[in-house]
Amino acid sequence: MIQVEKNLNFGGMKLNLAEKNVVIHGAEVILTNREFAILYLLAQSPGRIFSKEQIYDIVWQEPYSGDYNIVMSHIHHIREKIEDNPSKPLYIQTVWGYWLSLQQKFKQCSVK
């Protein structure tokens, strides 16, 4: 049986799977279920690079349909909500030629 971690902490950001909420520097951030699922996916593997196809397959739980914009639209909304400066994101990085990764410097942060 796979054990799913319920709380992930990355510097000033805390994700709680049971409550499906995100708190950044003490303030709760409201995400849609899909936005939370994407962020939680990235947070479970900091530094791992995901393609848009992989994110779609895992989060939507169906084969990728070829609509790249839907994943990037959700990423844009997440960045608007969690980043101090969405044009210079701290948490979610776009890696040229590969796509998305939770910032690698958060690799050593705690998982509970």
Q: Which residue has the higher pLDDT, 35 or 54?
A: 35
Quick one: tokens of 7? 């709380």
7 or 74: which carries more pLDDT confidence?
74
Enter the pTM of the model. Answer: 0.81
Of all residues in the chain, the percent with pLDDT exceeding 90 is: 38
Q: How confident is the model at residue 103 (pLDDT cuts 50, 70, 90)?
A: low
- pLDDT confidence tier of residue 69, bands split at 50, 70 and 90: confident
Q: What is the reported pLDDT for 53? A: 86
d(CA 107, CA 103): 8
Nearest in space to 17 (alpha carbons), one of 28, 27, 9, 6: 6
Residue pair 84/90 in contact by the 8 Å Cβ criterion: yes
* pLDDT at site 1: 45
